[in-house]
Structure 1
Amino acid sequence: MVDCPVYFAPLQGYTDAPYRNYFHTYFGGVDVYYTPFVRLENGNKFRNRDISDIDPLRNSVPILVPQVIASIPEELRSILCLFEKQGYTRADLNLGCPFPLLVKRHKGSGILPFPEEVEALLKVFLEFPAIDFSIKARLGWESADEIFRLLPLLEKYPVSRVVLHPRLGIQQYKGKTDLKTFSRFYELCPVPLIYNGDLVTLEDIECIIADYPHLAGVMLGRGLLTDPSLALTYKSGTKLPDSEFRERLYCFHNALLQYYSSHYQGGDHQVLAKMKTLWEYLCPDMDRKLRKCILKSRNLDAYRSYVQEILKK
């Protein structure tokens, strides 16, 4: 009996509300979905797409956790007020984003070298007792020692769980995960710990759970973008027949295509740009010639034709 919860990682540009909703409809296997991070832009204004993405009326997955990225308490407080207003009782603080433009502003993994700044953010949690907080972090920005400076803060402030990706921010998504340091943190972490990073096959998931039997869950990101049936396979213990997988993927894809076609105002070009992002990861072992044709499509008719050919083989 599988009892390790599966979390879907927040992936900017990929896992928006329609993606999450249709993924849950056609594949599933995920217990908890995270939204890409909500942030404030110049003038302390919310991005319209962020407000739309977390709107409860636009989300139909069972459990959705909105994620926030901030560097100062005032930012965090404003965003958490939005979450509370929308009725959310769970929230996640991003301490892991490795993108340089945000890192240099002490956001994401860029704040990890400054534990006093992290503590200033965690103090804000005390102002929202109705919200259950988690943290998604990396080992540090440029030193794996940085994550260990947070251990006393996890006992001092209301943090219910930690999702840890065992890479440094400066690595981006390159190089190997540092399981040696993860193991040290696993032994010392005073709150439930979720593993995230390079879980792209069923064997990857099973090995991590076997090595760390007290994990509170596993978080899948690029593994689900590549194989949307991965969580379902793990939960059911059975891989979908190829014909059923292709049929589900075809329905999932077409539901997304129909949604973006009816909601985007920029015409074919905008819809194509959005749909092509799916194929940056999706099913890399499928016909490579057809995949290249999909990515080079210049109109929706050609795009649809190539997608049907690759998925209906």
Structure 2
Amino acid sequence: MEYKIHFAPLQGYTDAVYREVHAQVFGGVEAYYTPFVRVEKDGFRNKDLRDITSGRNVATPVVPQLIAATPEEFRRLVTLFLGQGYQQADINMGCPFPMQARLHRGAGILPHTGDAAALLQTVREFPEMNFSVKLRLGWDSPDEVFALLPFIDSLPLTHVTLHPRIGRQQYKGHVDMDSFTRFYEACAHPLFYNGDLNCPADIDRIIRLYPRLSGVMLGRGLLSSPWLAKEYMAGKELPDTEKKAGLFRFHTLLFEKYSAILEGGEHQVLAKMKTLWDYLLPDAEKRLRKKILKSNQLSTYQQAVKELLQP
């Protein structure tokens, strides 16, 4: 069986520029998901509209993701995606951020089985769109996702992705593999695993434990090691020189593309580039990482990155 790797969306990180450059330099990913699009103040955020514009997503296999609390929000978002020519959409029922959860979005809808089912039922109104769902185990308890699972199984979905934490955990604590096993054994749809996969050995372990998986979704692991999917698909560890050369090219292209589109000048470009290092190379030399993060001028930032990454 051929296992697939999907790139999880992360707000503030995996925008259209990042996705395009990652695919160009590293690849190994079957599908990239956009950060979730939502209805806000009865409309859409401009940055969300820019990010899903079909003209900016021609070089990568992109799936737009929506987050919604009601069928009406769902309809508006799917109509938006269809208008951009998309034929696949992902439904976010796993976001753990309290601001969204309080609105019964993401993992915050999972305790409300009736509302969650009503939201998901809306997929039947759009036979021209293929849908997938990304889930957590619940907000307070894994019982929440299992209450919803029979309904999920009845829906026409391409696949389901499960991150086996509850929403209240955020990204803390351990994944609940007992609950994932139970879900894996009961889920009728093709299933992807997501959560705490940081190296090829982690992916191998999950695939061995769950051989019927369709694949895995990587998020923070790919942000910290952008070559991870390529390395896993190649079936061998990449030489450090290849990783370093790839990272240098990756960073250079990101810098060029963000500099070309961001209109806030040097300060905005610097702020955007520094966000990469929230996750990138956590084990790199502390002195240089600190120098990068403390930079308040592009020249200082570029010199620190050059010291760290230049082959």
TM over 0.5: same fold? yes
Query: What is the root-mean-square deviation of aligned Cα atoms in Å?
Result: 1.1
Does the 8 Å contact 2:221/2:228 carry over to 1? yes
Q: Quick one: distance in 2 between partners of 1:87 and 1:128?
A: 14
Q: Give the deviation of 1:185 after TM superposition.
A: 0.5
Which of 119, 123, 126 aligns to 2:124? It is 126
Task: Structure 1: state its 5+ residue gaps.
Answer: none
Does the 8 Å contact 2:21/2:254 carry over to 1? yes
Residue 16 of structure 1 aligns with which residue? 15
CA 1:213–1:61 in structure 2 vs 1: closer, same or farther (change >3 Å)?
farther
- After superposition, the C-alpha distances for 1:136-171 in whole angstroms (9 at most, x for unaligned) are 010000101101011221233222211000000000
Does the 8 Å contact 1:70/1:76 carry over to 2? yes
Which of 217, 222, 225 aligns to 2:220? It is 222
In the alignment, does 2:188 pair up with 1:185? no
**Quick one: which amino acid aligns to residue 101 of structure 1?**
M
Q: Give the deviation of 1:120 after TM superposition.
A: 1.1
Task: Give me the TM-score of the superposition, normalised by structure 2.
Answer: 0.98
Residue 77 of structure 2 aligns with which residue? 79
Residue 256 of structure 1 aligns with which residue? 254
Moved over 4 A (4+): none
Does the 8 Å contact 1:201/1:230 carry over to 2? yes
- After superposition, the C-alpha distances for 1:206-258 in whole angstroms (9 at most, x for unaligned) are 00000000001100000000101110010001222111211111111111111
SS at match of 1:126: helix
Residue 306 of structure 1 aligns with which residue? 304
SS at match of 2:90: strand
Does the 8 Å contact 2:20/2:59 carry over to 1? yes
Residue 29 of structure 2 aligns with which residue? 30
Of 154-163 and 249-258, more deviation after overlay is shown by 154-163
- After superposition, the C-alpha distances for 1:146-204 in whole angstroms (9 at most, x for unaligned) are 01011221233222211000000000000000000000010000111100000001110
Residue 155 of structure 2 aligns with which residue? 157
Q: Give the deviation of 1:265 after TM superposition.
A: 1.5
CA 1:165–1:61 in structure 2 vs 1: closer, same or farther (change >3 Å)?
farther
Q: Quick one: distance in 1 between partners of 2:170 and 2:149?
A: 23
Of 237-246 and 175-184, more deviation after overlay is shown by 237-246
Task: Map residues 193-232 of structure 1 onto 2, 5 A cutoff.
Answer: 193-232=191-230
Does the 8 Å contact 2:140/2:167 carry over to 1? yes
Of 22-31 and 152-161, more deviation after overlay is shown by 152-161
Q: Quick one: distance in 2 between partners of 1:57 and 1:180?
A: 43
**Quick one: which amino acid aligns to residue 249 of structure 2?**
C
Q: Quick one: distance in 2 between partners of 1:186 and 1:168?
A: 16
Task: Map residues 160-171 of structure 1 onto 2, 5 A cutoff.
Answer: 160-171=158-169
Q: Give the deviation of 1:308 after TM superposition.
A: 0.5
Q: Quick one: distance in 2 between partners of 1:282 and 1:68?
A: 26
Q: Give the deviation of 1:61 after TM superposition.
A: 3.9
Task: Give me the TM-score of the superposition, normalised by structure 1.
Answer: 0.97
SS at match of 1:279: helix
Residue 6 of structure 1 aligns with which residue? 5
**Quick one: which amino acid aligns to residue 3 of structure 2?**
C
Residue 58 of structure 2 aligns with which residue? 60
Q: Quick one: distance in 2 between partners of 1:272 and 1:74?
A: 39
Q: Quick one: distance in 2 between partners of 1:152 and 1:57?
A: 38
Q: How many residues are treated as equivalent by the alignment? A: 311
Task: Structure 2: state its 5+ residue gaps.
Answer: none
Does the 8 Å contact 2:95/2:106 carry over to 1? yes
**Quick one: which amino acid aligns to residue 311 of structure 1?**
L
Q: Percent identity?
A: 53
Q: Quick one: distance in 2 between partners of 1:229 and 1:179?
A: 26
